[in-house]
Amino acid sequence: MVGALALALLLAGCATPQVDWNARIGQYTFDQAVIELGPPDKQAKLQDGTVIAEWLVGRGYHYASPAFGFPGCYPGWIYGPAYFDNRVPDRFLRLTFGPDGKLESSRRFAR
């Protein structure tokens, strides 16, 4: 029973729809973004009243994976197994709101 419940929760989490930010342009406000996403991690107000705000939407991480092959098979590999250090970057959402407070553009990026 517990396994079935865990599987149902996992599948429900995977089925979460992505937000179509382009459909919200011109009608979504900064206040609505703060209510939905929380306070932005960074924001700047330009002289013309435009607000650019960024939210961290996914924390990056590091993981190690073994290099395939046997020790000594490749030049420079003499002792022990080799591992690659892999990094998944943080993911951000940048929303730009015009002087009227309405969404003008959105951009997802990683760093």
Summarised one tens digit per residue, pLDDT across range 47-58 is 999 999 999 999
pLDDT value, residue 18: 83
Q: For 30-99, what is the HEC assignment?
A: HHHHHHHHCCCCEEEECCCCCEEEEEEEECCEEEEEECCCCCCCCCCCCCCCCEEEEEECCEEEEEEECC
Q: What is the pLDDT of residue 10?
A: 58
Mean pLDDT of 13-26: 79
Instruction: Indicate if the pLDDT at residue 79 is higher than 70.
Output: no
pLDDT of residue 91: 95
Do 94 and 104 touch, CB atoms closer than 8 A? Answer: no
- Please, which pLDDT band fits residue 61 given cuts at 50, 70 and 90? confident
